[in-house]
Structure 1
Amino acid sequence: MLETPLQVSEVFRADQFELAMLGINLLKGILGFVIAYIAYRGYRRNESRPMLYISTGFILLLAVPFVSFAVAISLVAAVDLPPVAEQGVVVVSELSQLIGLLVIVYALRM
């Protein structure tokens, strides 16, 4: 039997993948702002502190990472950032998500 190497095909090219991920992150950021705004309106209408915490949690969970990555991308385009700065953006994003989840859990336990 004749052996032939397996053929590997890419589903997405690198630029298509980055564009798709940017679009997904944009939708996540917008959705985070919308959910936070609706929760904040609920807080203002009912003066419910848990709704304020839920609003804050969603801002930290979805909006802050989006904004931090958008700022990092624009800085990378303008100035060549060192890898440490890029790692800092990832750490800020991950911590923001963790704190956002903890705030939402706290609000649900109130």
Structure 2
Amino acid sequence: MIVQLSDIELTARTLVMASQILVILLGFTIVYIAFQGYRRNRSRPMLFIAVGFTLIIGVQAISAGVYVVFDVSELAAGAVSQAAQLSGLICILYALRMEG
């Protein structure tokens, strides 16, 4: 059975994919800037911010790819993504509470 997408559905999917790519690019830009701040000043908080954003953005991008390429259940991919996001947020919170 061939599924036909309407122009509106195709446009919506394209916009969602474009926004996801933009979020990933901005996230990795933050990671790069934070890591450069760590290297320049040996600031441990900046290192934890870089690690946190890497966990949030990187694992999200990887899990989306794994979900599409391999036959992984949506629940398993979501659980891994959620755990990575939680870990990343804990790293960022730790960095914000840490004394430089």
Under a length normalisation based on structure 2, what TM-score does the superposition of the two structures give? 0.81
The letter for the 2-side match of 1:55 is A
Q: State the distance in 2 between where 1:28 and 1:65 align.
A: 10
Task: Structure 2: state its 5+ residue gaps.
Answer: 1-6
Deviation beyond 6 Å, 4+ runs, structure 1: none
Aligned length: 92
Q: Percent identity?
A: 41
Give the CA RMSD over aligned residues: 1.7
Of residues 77, 81, 85, the one that matches 1:93 is 81
How is 1:20-39 mapped onto 2 (pairs within 5 angstroms)? 20-39=15-34
1:41: Cα distance to partner?
0.5
Under a length normalisation based on structure 1, what TM-score does the superposition of the two structures give? 0.74
Q: State the distance in 2 between where 1:89 and 1:13 align.
A: 28
Once the two structures are superposed, residues 39-98 of structure 1 have per-residue CA deviations (whole angstroms, 9 ceiling, x without a partner) of 00000000011100000011112222022202322x15xxxx26xx22211111111111
